[in-house]
Amino acid sequence: MDQGIKSRPRYQPFRIDPAGTQHLIVTDQPSPPPGISGAAELWTIAPHPGGQSFPTPAALLASLPGHLARQGPGFRLYAIGTEPFIWDVAYIATHAGLTEGELFLHHAGSLARRVHCIHCKTNTDRVTTNIVTCAGCGANLLVRDHFSRRLRAFMGVQVDAETPGILPPIETLYP
């Protein structure tokens, strides 16, 4: 269902930027996509030959800032995976000084969304349905395509404010 909202991120296919001189690929996917050259460093969650593996996505993300602090011109960072993961990477990378042309995001795997309740500001993770109950305030939220790069989440807006308890059909839209 296209909600016609322009903030919905669109992703380009993965490719190594030939203008870069050092490449790091980070992914939360079990197997990195084909086309990764041996010239790139690879960080994964599941052990992968030739890559550095971390027990959890959070552990991988925690190791990024220190690594980025040692990089210079020519460094390129590629994040491949679910949207919450790649936007967490983008947040860390932007704070480390990476900018347009140095950071590339590629969506892979589940479409599950991180939903930000616009009423109580709580994030609800791994949302696969069009309507979700907010983990913070319990409101029934309609998951919008409106994506905030700053909050790294899709906006959720109470759907039954005027008719409490009466909800549209619940469907799995983001498997």
Length of the chain: 175
Question: Is the Cβ–Cβ distance between 86 and 52 less than 8 Å?
Answer: no
State the minimum distance, in angstroms, from the CB of residue 65 to other proteins. Answer: 11
How many Å separate Cα 19 from the centre of its chain? 25
Query: How far is it, in rounded angstroms, from Cα 126 to Cα 55?
Result: 19
State the minimum distance, in angstroms, from the CB of residue 7 to other proteins. Answer: 20
What residues make contact with other proteins under the rule CB under 8 A? 19-22, 68-69, 71-76, 96-102
Query: Residue 104 or residue 174: which is nearer to other proteins going by CB?
Result: 104
Query: Residue 69 or residue 166: which is nearer to other proteins going by CB?
Result: 69
Query: Residue 94 or residue 128: which is nearer to other proteins going by CB?
Result: 94
State the minimum distance, in angstroms, from the CB of residue 97 to other proteins. Answer: 2
How many Å separate Cα 132 from the centre of its chain? 19
State the minimum distance, in angstroms, from the CB of residue 22 to other proteins. Answer: 8
Alpha-carbon distances, residue 140 vs 59, 61, 112, 113, 172 (angstroms): 32, 31, 17, 15, 15
Query: Residue 68 or residue 118: which is nearer to other proteins going by CB?
Result: 68
Residue corresponding to tokens 């690594």 = 67
